[in-house]
Structure 1
Amino acid sequence: MTSSLVALPLAAAFVTLALASAWAVGLAARLAARWLSPGLRSPSTALRAAVVFAPAVLGALGCAALALPSPFVGCHCAEHGLHHPHLCAFHPAFALPLVTPSAYVLGAWLALTAPFVLRLFRDAIASARWTRAARRLPAVALDSVVVRLADCGAPGAFTIGALSPIVVIDRVLWRSLSDEQRRAVVHHERAHVERRDGLTLLALRLCVALFPSSAGQRLIDAWRAAAEQSCDRYAAGKLGDPAAVAAALIAVEKVRAQDPRGAALPAHAMGALAGGDLSRRVLALLDADPPLQGAEPLLANDVLATAIVAVGALLLTFVWPGDGFHHAIETLIGHLIH
């Protein structure tokens, strides 16, 4: 019981900091979309993912500083006095005034996020079932990449699966492409597999569900667009010809435009269709600076990249600013509840 007197306020502090950060990130995203020139170089996929993860990371860093002022300092309650509540593992009873407000904060947060989390859960289950079914489909191998051919209801090529992704291509689309176009599409999808983009997409959607923001879906769409561009560059490096990848994108879009089917693809699929993003992706391939001439970009998972930076920041938070930041947050909490 005594441990919950500290754990509950810490959880509420994490939620409050993360929601405030999500609002700030959403506002910054709207301002950036309005004022930044569209001709500027697109940020990396890892940076775009980090923006979506920022609320959770900032909330965790704030809570870490609040829970542990310094690894070399134990109880500091006597130094700071009792003019505000204390979140101290040695004196959990000092956090008692925060328990009721924290319960209200957490209850409101659960009510706010429950519909988003349930929708994500349903999408994840549907995608998992779709993936299991796709594994039983006939497969072909091209350039050592295993491809499942399916009747998708729409002419698309995509990667699905968070932990064990597979490449799926619609039968109609596969028959409509030339050998070189097939290689371009297959290597594009292989890049999604290597980057584990399905896992990243699931983590991004979970972050937005837990900490809703007006710009949350827009930020995820921006990450997806950057990921598609990164996979285009990878395919261009494999083929040694950016123009061949650009031609494959155009060919896929032509098949899509002529196909009467319009079934929706799984929610967690990556690399489905070029769609309205076609012009930008083709220009990015043909006008790359420096030109793409067979150099394959390094592929890395964006969740892992963000986690490494977050862990480094967390270790720094334990040491600095330490007790000063801890005391400032406790003082602010004291003013808010009195």
Structure 2
Amino acid sequence: MALIAHETAHVRQGDLRTRAIIEAFLVFAAPLVAERIRTSWLQASERLCDARAADVTGEPASVASAMVSLCRLHVSRPASSFGFTPTADELASRVHAVLEGGPTGERAAVLLGRSALVTSVLLVGAAIVAAEPLHHAFETLLG
């Protein structure tokens, strides 16, 4: 039940759509920055889904147990590729957050959203400011 509640939370949050949008923006980011943003969003998303699964099931311990069980399964069958591969520190942090009602990742998600909005506005502004000089540069270059 915990796994289904967690995955349902991903669907309700629209995580696939959000991930696609983030990946589209990250095409223009520096590789290290892109990886940091991607990791921050993934961790925030997972924590939010963990918290929602704990709320839905009413059993935070079963959510934590499911996370540990999935990690054990991945270690015992590394050939079976699936998306749940947190580091030991990430797993411990998520389990602790679920059991103790710790940070859910909402703050990180809001910060990432605001950063994306500001970046979008700056990119649009830069495109508007540079449109005329770029137009002339391409005309000159192409003859």
TM-score in same-fold range (> 0.5): yes
Q: Which position in structure 2 is the counterpart of 1:25?
A: none
Provide TM-score, normalisation by structure 2.
Answer: 0.67
Q: Does 1:286 align with 2:104?
A: no
Q: Does 1:275 align with 2:86?
A: yes
CA RMSD of aligned residues (A): 3.3
Provide TM-score, normalisation by structure 1.
Answer: 0.30
| Counterpart residue type for residue 246 of structure 1 | A
Residues 289, 204 of structure 1: alpha-carbon distance in 2 compared, 3 angstrom cutoff? closer
Alignment of structure 1 residues 86-97 onto 2, 5 Å: none
Distance 2:76 2:102 in 1: 33
Q: Which position in structure 2 is the counterpart of 1:224?
A: 42
Distance 2:42 2:29 in 1: 19
Residues 235, 209 of structure 1: alpha-carbon distance in 2 compared, 3 angstrom cutoff? same
Q: Which digits, 9 at most, give the CA deviation of each residue in 1:45-102, with x for residues without a partner? A: xxxxxxxxxxxxxxxxxxxxxxxxxxxxxxxxxxxxxxxxxxxxxxxxxxxxxxxxxx
| Counterpart residue type for residue 96 of structure 2 | L
| Counterpart residue type for residue 97 of structure 2 | A
Q: Which digits, 9 at most, give the CA deviation of each residue in 1:256-293, with x for residues without a partner? A: 11115244x5xxxxxx2143121111011112259xxx
Residues 275, 289 of structure 1: alpha-carbon distance in 2 compared, 3 angstrom cutoff? closer
Q: Which position in structure 1 is the counterpart of 2:17?
A: 199
Q: Runs (4+) of structure 1 moved beyond 6 Å? A: none
Q: Which digits, 9 at most, give the CA deviation of each residue in 1:142-161, with x for residues without a partner? A: xxxxxxxxxxxxxxxxxxxx
The Cα shift of 1:243 comes to 0.9
Q: Which digits, 9 at most, give the CA deviation of each residue in 1:156-197, with x for residues without a partner? A: xxxxxxxxxxxxxxxxxxxxxxxxxxx100110000000111
Of residues 37, 55, 58, the one that matches 1:237 is 55
Alignment of structure 1 residues 314-329 onto 2, 5 Å: none
Distance 1:306 1:275 in 2: 23
**Secondary structure at 1:261 match in 2:** coil
Alignment of structure 1 residues 1-338 onto 2, 5 Å: 183-263=1-81, 265=82, 272-276=83-87, 277-289=90-102, 306=113, 310=117
| Counterpart residue type for residue 238 of structure 1 | V
| Counterpart residue type for residue 214 of structure 1 | L
Distance 2:92 2:80 in 1: 21
Q: Is the 8 A contact 1:184 1:235 kept in 2?
A: yes
Residues 198, 229 of structure 1: alpha-carbon distance in 2 compared, 3 angstrom cutoff? same
Distance 2:22 2:42 in 1: 10
**Which runs of 5 or more residues in structure 2 are unaligned?**
122-128, 134-143
The Cα shift of 1:251 comes to 1.1
Distance 1:203 1:223 in 2: 12
Residues 289, 210 of structure 1: alpha-carbon distance in 2 compared, 3 angstrom cutoff? closer
| Counterpart residue type for residue 99 of structure 2 | L
Distance 2:14 2:57 in 1: 21
Distance 2:80 2:41 in 1: 24
| Counterpart residue type for residue 258 of structure 1 | S
Taking only the aligned residue pairs, the percentage that are identical comes to 26
Distance 1:289 1:205 in 2: 28
Distance 1:224 1:214 in 2: 15
